[in-house]
Amino acid sequence: MARIAYDDADASAFASTRHLGDTGASAWRDAVARHLQPQPGLRLLDLGAGTGSWAKAFTTWFPGIEMTAVDPSPAMRERSVFQPVLAGDAADIPLSDASVDGVWMSTVIHHVPDLAAAAREIRRVLRPGAPLLIRSAFAGRHERITLFRYFPAAIRVLDTYPSVEQVHAAFDGFDTVALEPVPQVTAASLREAVTNLRRAAHTPLQLISDEEYQQGLQSMRDAARTETGPVVDALDLLVLRRR
């Protein structure tokens, strides 16, 4: 079960605030291309596709690839900008053995209750030698994410997420290829970021107290009065390869 319900309110918040534009996500396009080496006919699984922004982006960035999206939440599937989205999760992927050339998981790994079970299922659907690309904030690695500067209580939540070391240990049958922070332009300015902030779109913000959230929101608003320039964050890309 996910840490949050991913009901209609969560899905609506994701759809309205968590889609990076082409400029914001350009470094992710380059990082994915390096590790996936996409070409026409390659089959990629977006596991935990949410509202479909990454699946849609991949089909735009890499013409000719075959994209399959899977998500357990009916509300997310209904709002997805990429269709169709199949019902399923990391422990129950509705695909046949050795049927995909790569798996993408974006801000999903912390919602997986049994990493070892997920590792077995992902390994089952991947072809030998194919990569698993995990985009995430990992425990202990918050320094380059702007929200945690203003919502320090949320670091407490992040530190309950899987660490890189825990993912390594759970994914038996995989070799580690890379761990790299990838920059993204999250917003054109801090003022824009705080104006568009939706608590329901961020798991760490949902899981702190209302008082802690309000304190962080005020801190962010105060900083936005004087801080200029784009908001640039860096999440990690962990790349594993199926043996």
Q: Residue 232: is its pLDDT beyond 90?
A: yes
Nearest to 80, CA basis, from 69, 90, 91:
69
> CA–CA separation, 131 vs 102, rounded Å?
5
Whole-model pTM? 0.93
pLDDT of residue 21: 73
The percent of residues above 90 in pLDDT, for the chain, comes to 89
- Look up residue 63 and give its two tokens: 């013409």
Computed over every residue of the chain, the mean pLDDT equals: 93
pLDDT of residue 24: 77
pLDDT of residue 6: 66
Average pLDDT (172-192) is 96
Those residues whose C-beta lies under 8 Å from the C-beta of residue 222, and which sit 6 or more positions away, are none
Helix orientation angle between 53-61 and 26-36, rounded to the nearest 10 degrees: 70
pLDDT band at 18 (very low <50, low <70, confident <90, very high): low
For residues 47, 52, 54 and 57, what is the CA-based torsion angle, rounded to 10 degrees?
140
Specify whether the CB–CB gap between 159 and 166 falls below 8 A: no
Average pLDDT (55-81) is 96
- Look up residue 52 and give its two tokens: 């479909």
pLDDT of residue 178: 97
Q: For the segment 124-161, what is each residue's pLDDT rounded down to a tens digit?
A: 999 999 999 999 999 999 999 999 999 999 999 999 99
Q: What letters, b where the CB count within 10 A reaches 16 and e where it falls short, cover 28-55? A: bbebbeebbebeeebbbbbbbbbbbbbb
Residue 112: its H or E element: none
Q: 8-141+161-186+234-242: CATH homologous superfamily?
A: Vaccinia Virus protein VP39 (3.40.50.150)
Those residues whose C-beta lies under 8 Å from the C-beta of residue 89, and which sit 6 or more positions away, are 48, 70, 71, 72, 112
Specify whether the CB–CB gap between 66 and 36 falls below 8 A: no
- Look up residue 182 and give its two tokens: 């990838």
pLDDT of residue 23: 74
pLDDT of residue 17: 56
Average pLDDT (162-179) is 97
Average pLDDT (104-118) is 96
Residue 92: its H or E element: none
Where along the chain do its domains lie? 8-141+161-186+234-242
- Look up residue 61 and give its two tokens: 């960035």
Q: ∠ CA 176-180-182 to the nearest 5 degrees? A: 140
Specify whether the CB–CB gap between 19 and 13 falls below 8 A: no
